[in-house]
Structure 1
Amino acid sequence: MVLESLPWRQASTPPDPFEPTPILHLVLQAPLKFVLYHAYHLITSLRSAPSPSKPPIRIVCISDTHGLTVDEIPDGDILIHAGDMTVDGSIPEIQRQVDWLSSLPHKEIVVISGNHDTYLDPRTRPLLREDQRSGTIDWKRVYYLQHRKLSLIMAVEPNNAVGEETHLLGRETKHRKLRIYGAPQIPACGDMGVHAFQYPRGRDAWSETVPEDTDILVTHGPPKYHMDLSLPHGMGCEHLAKEVKRVSPTLHVFGHVHWGAGQEVVWWDGCHSAYEEGMSIRPRWFRGLMSPWLWWSTFRVVYRGLRGLLWDKVWGGEGPSPTILVNAAQMQGNTGKLGNPIQVVDI
């Protein structure tokens, strides 16, 4: 996310697409799409949560700390930071974040970059002063992923919900392999020459880039229409959304859009397809109320969503393998303060 003159921006600036649009304005601007959005999220929220594997592995997710540190982080097996560790992106600022992260008690720590982590993108590195970009970063025990895949073998106790490692003789342990892929690129959210890892909005920077066997995908930006301030237009990437659907990882962690923080489960079914198709329609007349395609998408979301809900709750059927989406942003809007809940997922 672009933090204009942290911690606050001037009231006279144009509306910020990274700030929530007032509900009344959304209802007046796109009433049918407003119904579509809330119908989809209500129905999918009623479905049974996906069960973690046995033994489970606990993933603690944070993002967008912007040079600050979190006082209390829940225990877990793997800590993931989904980018924007810094504000200016200098080596000293990145190193302070790495030192903090490496001091945490989690067994494994995985990090990717964000658009504020200037030094880590060779294209924006020259913008830093010489004293800000001279030297190297000591990553210590932190795994830094930049278009890179990491395989971890986790030793976990079968009866431990947190998945604590053990070396005690006579105690049974099991091993699970997790494949994590991290990539930082985002659709342009500011000056292409200032913010790191940007590509022109609308360009496909994702298709066939994520390994098919990925269990955990870590990106800085969200997939379009999911935890990205989806109304009225969404700030995520439509090509990333297609890539996530193609790979269908167990977990997708991201940040960037601070106000989108939280969790969402995506079931790759007809309800989801109808939702994304409907959200992609740009109403042209009477704010979408005269669009037959938008009405059709809304009907399909309700019909396919209720059918999936009945299959889940009444008949106990298993749907397609879902993906848990986590927007782990810690920064609260453009306030310059951390405070969004830390996201914890058992997989």
Structure 2
Amino acid sequence: MPEAITPQAPDPFETTPFHELLFKAPVKLLLFHTYHVLNSLRSAPTPSDPPIRVVCISDTHEKFPENVPSGDVLIHAGDMTNDGSVASIQKQVDWLSSLPHKEIVVISGNHDTYLDPRTRPSLSDDQRSGTIDWKRVHYLQHRSLTLSLAIEPSYTDSPRTRLLSGVKHRSIRLYGAPQIPACGPLSIHAFQYPRGLDAWSETVPEATDILITHTPPKYHMDLTLPNGMGCEHLMKEVRRVKPTLHVFGHVHWGAGQMVVWWDGCHDAYEMGMGARTRWAHGLLNPWIWWNLVRVGYRGLRGLVWDKVWGGKGPSTIMVNASQMHENTGKLSNPVQVVDI
């Protein structure tokens, strides 16, 4: 008899077709789109004066993006390499340090094997020989960094405006941490922890302006449906700290940026997305339906407060800076630029 073929489990790093989502999680699908449509209609946060231009990249996987925009700070949110060797990391550092940005900040990703002492032994002797010269690149691994920046007037301003405004100074505090929920062998992929383990609570300093992680927070630019590839404990930590900007990568399909407003609409979205869909794929779960109603009501309230009264409230700009387009091996996602 021919050997039976065992069906393979779907790859969690690939999108689920819409018709499958419509069957598996119909209410959550509606909840997801209701939240994101209402959220997209709100005004963007107003940058501070003077604004700092932050250029965000991630998941370059040994390649070099073309046409990286200029800016004050360049951030790389991990997965510089594929093989994680010293030589591969050094090539990325050499390229990064050659860019014209005033400050360059980097964290590790799960493919940057050498940077995690626990996974370093998985490399061959040749791959882990030598040391990394970080040059002018700031490498953050569970640590903070304060940058003082001299911000020059924008070249889009008139000559008179540039003359009158002059150079201004701002300081920002960044915190970088590379750990991710496990997605491969713990002995090979760097900085992993078992999915569901809390590796985040009370780890990010409260005064952080820019948080840099490799994993997304759960339900935000992380292949949210049907299950979400991000970390729920990181999401709680981001909500606690409320940084101005949160930069991450890891999930290539989630590339882009959005604003999270820390209000009742977002609370209802998270609660609804986190609800179980055991019975009839969520159709019989009143908690999901209730939070869908709350997202609609609170989202419309926030939209009116924004558009009519000019209200803003606390927010975080979330950026999935993955350069790798899906899982194609090509860097074609746009570089993300944010003014804060």
TM (norm. structure 2) is 0.94
| Matched residue type, 2:332 | G
Aligned length: 330
Aligned with 1:56 (options 51, 56, 59) = 51
Following superposition, the deviation at residue 193 of structure 1 comes to 1.4
**SS of 2:146 mapped into structure 1:** strand
Aligned with 1:333 (options 308, 326, 333) = 326
Question: Deviation per CA, 1:218-254, whole angstroms, max 9, x where unpaired?
Answer: 0000000000000001000000000000000000000
Aligned with 1:100 (options 89, 92, 95) = 95
Following superposition, the deviation at residue 171 of structure 1 comes to 7.2
**SS of 1:253 mapped into structure 2:** strand
| Residue pair 1:114, 1:196 contacting (<8 A) in 2 also | yes
| Matched residue type, 2:334 | P
> After the TM superposition, which of the residue ranges 113-122 and 129-138 deviates more from structure 2?
129-138
Aligned with 2:205 (options 211, 220, 230) = 211
**SS of 1:206 mapped into structure 2:** coil
Following superposition, the deviation at residue 315 of structure 1 comes to 2.1
Cα separation, 2, equivalents of 1:214 and 1:63: 20
| Residue pair 1:274, 1:301 contacting (<8 A) in 2 also | yes
Cα separation, 1, equivalents of 2:59 and 2:83: 13
Overall identity of the aligned pairs, in %: 71
Following superposition, the deviation at residue 15 of structure 1 comes to 1.3
Cα separation, 2, equivalents of 1:32 and 1:283: 9
Aligned with 1:68 (options 54, 63, 72) = 63
TM (norm. structure 1) is 0.93
Aligned with 1:153 (options 148, 154, 160) = 148
RMSD: 1.6
Tell me the residue number matched to 2:74. Answer: 79
Equivalences for residues 1-347 of structure 1 within 5 A = 13-157=8-152, 159-160=153-154, 172-318=166-312, 320-347=313-340
Tell me the residue number matched to 1:3. Answer: none
Following superposition, the deviation at residue 81 of structure 1 comes to 0.2
Structure 2 segments unaligned to the other structure (5+ residues): 1-6
Cα separation, 2, equivalents of 1:48 and 1:334: 32
Cα separation, 2, equivalents of 1:317 and 1:160: 27
| Residue pair 1:182, 1:218 contacting (<8 A) in 2 also | yes
Cα separation, 1, equivalents of 2:134 and 2:285: 53
Question: Deviation per CA, 1:81-138, whole angstroms, max 9, x where unpaired?
Answer: 0000000100000000000000111111000000000000000001111111111100
| Matched residue type, 2:145 | L
Structure 1 stretches of 4+ moved >4 Å:
168-171
Following superposition, the deviation at residue 332 of structure 1 comes to 1.2
Cα separation, 1, equivalents of 2:101 and 2:48: 20
Following superposition, the deviation at residue 200 of structure 1 comes to 0.4
**SS of 2:278 mapped into structure 1:** coil
| Residue pair 1:56, 1:162 contacting (<8 A) in 2 also | no
Structure 1 segments unaligned to the other structure (5+ residues): 1-11
Tell me the residue number matched to 1:6. Answer: none
